[in-house]
Amino acid sequence: MRYLDFPYRFDGRRRTAETDLPRHVRNLVELILFTMPGERVNRPDFGSALRQLVFAPARQELAATTQLLVQGALTQWLSALIEVEAVTVDSRDESLIVTVAYTLRASGERRTDTFERGLT
C-alpha cells in the first residue's frame, strides 16, 4: 500500500509523491510532535505541547513531564499504528531533539526515529 509523502510535493514523474508505511508513520509522528494543540481548526486537541515546554525552566521534573506528554499524544493519535516504547527529549543550543522508539503494529518492526527542530 502507498501513502502520501510529507511534506506534500510532486515527485520526478510530476505526480503526488508517495511513500511506504514506515516512512508514512514517521511523518505522522513528526506531525504530532511539532503541531501545537489549537493549531488545527477542525481538530483543536491534535498535537502535543512540546514546543511550549521547551521554554520552561529546565528541571528533572520537566523532562519527565515532557516525555509523558509526548508519549501520551503519540499513543492517543497513533495507537492503531504503533506501540510507543520510549521517548527522549533534549534541548541543545537552539534546537529541540526528540527520539521516539516504537513498534509498527502491522509488521512488528521496531524503529527508532530522531526529529530535530529549531526553537525559533
**What CATH number is attached to the domain comprising 63?**
3.10.450.40
CA distance 39 to 55: 19
pTM: 0.83
Number of domains into which the chain is organized: 1
Distances (CA, A) of 101 to 60, 71, 84, 86, 90: 21, 10, 6, 5, 15
Nearest Cα neighbor of 113 from 52, 70, 65, 59 is: 70
Please give the residue range of the domain that contains residue 107.
3-118
Q: Over its length of 120 residues, how does the chain's per-residue pLDDT go in tens digits?
A: 889 888 889 999 999 999 999 999 999 999 999 898 888 899 999 988 777 765 555 555 666 777 888 899 999 999 999 999 999 888 777 777 889 999 999 999 999 999 988 765
